[in-house]
A = this chain, B = another copy of it.
Amino acid sequence: MKADWIAVDWGTTHLRAFAMGPEGLRAEAASDAGMASLSRDGFEPALIRLIASWLGPGVTPVLACGMVGSRQGWFEAPYRSVPCTPLEQGALVRVPVRDPRITLQIAPGLKQSAPADVMRGEETQIAGALTLHPGFDGVICLPGTHSKWARISAGEVVGFQTFLTGEMFALLADHSVLRHGLADGWDEPAFDAGLAEGRNRPERLLAQLFRLRAEGLIATLPGAAARSRLSGLLIGAELAAARAWWLGLPVLLIGSDRLTALYARALSAEAADTRALSATDCTIAGLALAAGALSKAAE
């Protein structure tokens, strides 16, 4: 099996590659060779190891997005400034490679000057979502380590805002005093209670967090309930602060099934309309758009 072209999603902690043909996805592969684990010289070997079996006798175009294009990545693809289309023909940055079997282009991220904000990788998912939902006007939410909310109008990202929600969860669960009281497992009522508390009193987050610890000590809050409530508290605080983004607008959610389901449920009472898309589908669709533009340019 050879690829006509290869889509690559290359983040801080992961590397995922997709072998593409005219009919769509042919194969996929992944490794933990994320940006953070590689020196500058390590990117090309890590990529070739993953995709070598897909390379034919000719030259295979590789299109990548994510932190691979950051200053600490393989090759810096300077941010484009919003308002702008999420991904534009000709905007991808051509990266010199040693292996003659591939060419490589990296999608640039987006930046916003006031309030300052940046994204890398999500712009490609947004572009993909807009090919899957042409003419979409509303807000796109990409929950995750750094959750993004982007206002979309007339095919452009008008503005966006990032929340440290997922990273905060990991910091608290892995490194804080709360870790002593958390356990795996899912407790839906505890999540809902946390969500309500976080949404209603987001300004009390620093106190709500310590209360989780105190309830574990003196009220024997079970570890799974504490973990689920922590998740609810943080997502609730994000939704409260992002209210101006989603209120009364249709919301497209892009992410893992699990996270988009949580956000959809939390938003369903108040957002005009929510729909969820898979992050992988959107990444591939976004890079396919750029690849299509490439092949048109080659015609």
A-side residues, CB < 8 A to B, are 79, 111-113, 115-118, 146, 161-165, 167-168, 171-172, 175-177, 202-207, 209-211, 213-215, 217-219, 234, 237-238, 240-242
Contacts and interface: CB of A to CB of B under 8 A. Distances in A.
Contacts of A115: 207, 211, 214
Contacts of A79: 218
Nearest to A117: B214
Contacts of A214: 111-112, 115-118, 162
Given A203-B203, A214-B118, A217-B118, A164 B146 contact: no
A169 to B, nearest CB: 10
Given A146-B210, A171-B176, A113 B219 contact: yes
A150 to B, nearest CB: 13
B207 A116 contact: no
A207 B240 CA distance: 11
Contacts of A240: 203
A218 B168 contact: no
B118 A237 contact: no
Contact of A206 (B111, B164, B204, B209): B164
Contacts of A234: 206
A146 B219 CA distance: 19
Nearest to A71: B217
A179 to B, nearest CB: 11
Contacts of A113: 218-219
A48 to B, nearest CB: 28
